[in-house]
Amino acid sequence: MSRTNVSRRDFLKVSAAAVPVAAMAVNSAGLYAAGDDVIKVALIGAGGRGSGALDNFIEGAKWHGLNVKVVAIAEVQKDRAEGNAKKHNVPMENVFTDFSGYKKVMATDAEYCVIATSPNFRPVHLEAAIQAGKNVFMEKPVAVDPQGARRIIAAGELAKQKGLGIVAGTQRRHEKPYRETADKVAQGALGRILSARVWWCGGRLWFREQGNDSDAMYMVKNWVSFTEMSGDHIVEQHVHNLDVANWFIGRPPVSAMGFGGRARRKTGNQFDFFSIDYDYGDDVTVHSMCRQVTGCYDRVSEHFVGTNGSTWGNGGGFKMQSPKSVDVGRYREGNPYVVEHYDLIQSVREGKPLNEAKNVGEATMTAIMGRISAYTGQLVRWSDVMANQNSPFYNLMCSPSAEDFEAGPVTAPPDDVVAIPGRD
């Protein structure tokens, strides 16, 4: 990971200035008449999660009685691009297999974009989609460094001005048990939250040999092994649980202090585990634990303790006062990976587009704070990554960046060379 003192131009100011007020009325929220039954979508990132997300989008549209036409695909792995094109009857002239292919997608008549590339590309791709007037579903997390997370939040503000919808892959926010529990917590059933513990502990993920692949393709195929691509697993996976913490507590943390290490991995440059204490202010603390080591105890969940009791994030083991005002029947049942698309489409068609850019941007930044603290051994404040431009962490930037991949050949970081905090 490298650092730069050169700040990016404020995306929001530039983009907002480039959009006349009259143009803001021309958006996909107004593209639909009541009788329309076909919506057009493009896929950016056709790997396993991208293919699945597109299927989920199509299913969510069916719940509305709508058909979906897939109009374009951008994916640098040619076999995956062509396989999805064949599956969804996309003409090959609308299949783009270079790192700038997303730009060509933006020139199509897609009304929605499903963005499921690796996290390092998401700030660039979201900005392009919003500038092009597309509604967006994007997978989590949404950045790998502080600059990227801030770009996501800024793009979300522009989307509000343009009346565009953004839903993120933090599907717990669309899962009925979580939503009902969050409502009860918000209405005071837990009293004042005092503390929480959040976990994502599971086994290690895949690795593919480089063979004859370029460094760029090696990193793309092994994005879960490189901090520059995924943000490390505290960002890529544990962002779900940290998002629930922010959601239930109602704000992001004030600071993070933690540690981590690497003992088992042989490839990439990520840690095997993290242990982070997050201070949310007002004497509220959250302990975060995540691990990718096969053969250990697995746990993926959240637990909150308040002055009136305790609860798991999904309402299990509910030990708190249950307010009578919660309407437990108002959230849609079903697979949350489909419900999130259903909710996006519904909000756009009703002219009240959901916008989750700030929530997922802040959850991603929360995870990034924890990673930076573990890598450096330092206390990292929210202000260090969001406001204080004199902080050494404010302009921290992972390299190679998304723009580097688009500009030409990149060099992969060496395997098994990792951050070591402190000194002898």
Contact in structure between 84 and 75 (CB atoms under 8 Å): yes
| Contacts of 113 by beta carbon, 8 Å cutoff, 6+ apart | 41, 42, 43, 44, 105, 125, 129, 134, 135, 136, 137
Angle between helices 336-349 and 48-63 (to 10 degrees): 60
Q: Which residues make beta-bridge pairs with 38?
A: 67
Question: What distance in Å separates the CA atoms of residue 112 and residue 70, rounded to the nearest whole number?
Answer: 10
CA angle, 223 then 4 then 168, to 5°: 45
Q: What is the pLDDT of residue 16?
A: 38
CATH architecture assigned to 2-172+337-355: 3-Layer(aba) Sandwich (3.40)
Compute how many other C-beta atoms are within 10 angstroms of the C-beta atom of residue 9.
Answer: 8
For the chain, the straight-line distance linking the first and the last C-alpha, in angstroms and rounded, comes to 21
Whose CA is closest to 140, among 175, 171, 169? Answer: 169
Question: What distance in Å separates the CA atoms of residue 233 and residue 337, rounded to the nearest whole number?
Answer: 20
| Contacts of 52 by beta carbon, 8 Å cutoff, 6+ apart | 337
Whole-model pTM? 0.90
Whose CA is closest to 157, among 337, 19, 341? Answer: 19
Q: What is the pLDDT of residue 324?
A: 60
192-326+364-407 has the same fold as 2-172+337-355: no
What Å distances lie between residue 125 and 103, 138, 170, 261, 301, CA to CA? 8, 9, 18, 32, 30
User: Letter for the amino acid at 276?
Assistant: I
Contact in structure between 114 and 53 (CB atoms under 8 Å): yes
User: Could you say which residues of the chain have pLDDT below 70?
Assistant: 1-36, 318, 320, 322-329
Residues 126-157: tens digit of each pLDDT: 999 999 999 999 999 999 999 999 999 999 99
CATH architecture assigned to 192-326+364-407: 2-Layer Sandwich (3.30)
Indicate the burial class of 20 (C-beta count within 10 angstroms; 0-12, 13-18, 19 or more): exposed
Question: What distance in Å separates the CA atoms of residue 401 and residue 214, rounded to the nearest whole number?
Answer: 16
E strand intervals along 148-298? 166-168, 193-202, 255-261, 273-279, 285-292
Domain edges within the chain: 2-172+337-355, 192-326+364-407
